[in-house]
Amino acid sequence: MRTKALLLCLALGAACSKGGGSQPKDKAAPAAQDPGKAARPADVAVTGRRIDIQVKKDGYVPEAVDLKPNEQVTLVFTRVEETECGATVVVPSLNVKKPLPLNTPVAIELKADKEGEIGFACGMDMMHGKLIVKN
């Protein structure tokens, strides 16, 4: 489905990190960045529930996220440590591949339409995470 592909693409863009926590919706436009300063997670617009995922040298935080069927979410991947592996996120089942610039939030909107798991990984397929869709 088109929605599933869109969601997977978003998830791939954020896969090479262990990130954590979800925050309330934020419709603010991205803010200008100082080169040496990490973006605040609130600096990207989201649709539905926001799920922040950090990308670190040792993986994604969190590496697994629970979703409800038909839940609209925005995954916000932020690579917070220098790692070539984490510089790209890939969601194979959604045919999504997104670059993750250092300290720059990358949003991927999706709506999982059925129960199951949607895996994501770094561009080198060394770090893995998953979205678990269940009631």
Domains of the chain, with CATH numbers?
2-26+40-133 (2.60.40.420)
User: What's the confidence (pLDDT) of residue 42?
Assistant: 58
Q: pTM for this one? A: 0.68
The model's pLDDT over 94-124, given as tens digits with 9 standing for 90+, comes to 888 999 999 999 999 988 888 999 999 999 9
Percent of the chain at pLDDT > 70 equals: 69
- In Å, how far from its chain's centre is CA 96? 11
**Residue linked to tokens 């309330």:** 24
